[in-house]
Amino acid sequence: LWKVQLKLSSDINDDIENYIGIAPSAKEGIDDLEGHKPPLFMDQGFLYFERPEWDNSFSLFNSDFRPSLGDGQAWDFTVRNPRRSLASIRFTGVESVPLEFSVMLVNLSNTVPVDLRSQSVYSYRAADEITRFKLIVGKKQFMESELATFIPTEYELFQNYPNPFNSATTIRAKIPIEGDVRLDVVSLLG
């Protein structure tokens, strides 16, 4: 019925053969539409769907097709970027998703949803070797329910990266209410 291609570009390679979608011939779980991901090679960037419930011996796949969409579906996928370089994911085919469904991407490191109907390329600098994402396709109520799970319930301050650093660092925090934040950075000398 429809498919979206996920094309990862890192500083040294492209990984373009990755797909999600809805196909009437698809089955729940693994079928002929899902393909195993080729083995990861050295420090190249890779995008994959980790599905140990499909194959416990080799659980990385390059596609995840579902038989129906219902009110919505969510696809979890992972990007491995050992060099922690600037990376981008291009989403091709979003226009084939029926218009009554929103298409949102959430980087689970920062949980800020991105509307893929208005922005087909997502660029980011990898903070860790592994970055997990969720791609959500759904009607309004399904989408609201899925996105609500990303709202923090408590304050949390994370370790800065890189650490040690020279001219710049990133400090992540989760805040359960919307509001202004003030951050004071003080040297060891005060």
Q: Check residue 66 and give its pLDDT.
A: 97
Q: Check residue 181 and give its pLDDT.
A: 82
Which segments in the chain show pLDDT lower than 70? none
DSSP character for 95?
G
Nearest to 141 by CA among 101, 113, 99: 101
Interatomic CA distance for residues 80 and 82, integer angstroms: 6
Q: How far is CA 58 from the centre of its chain?
A: 21
Cα dihedral sign for 13, 77, 92, 124? negative
Interatomic CA distance for residues 134 and 108, integer angstroms: 7
Interatomic CA distance for residues 103 and 117, integer angstroms: 6
pTM for the model: 0.85
3-state helix, strand, coil in the chain (%, to 5): 5, 35, 55
Q: Do 23 and 65 meet the contact criterion of CB atoms below 8 Å apart?
A: yes
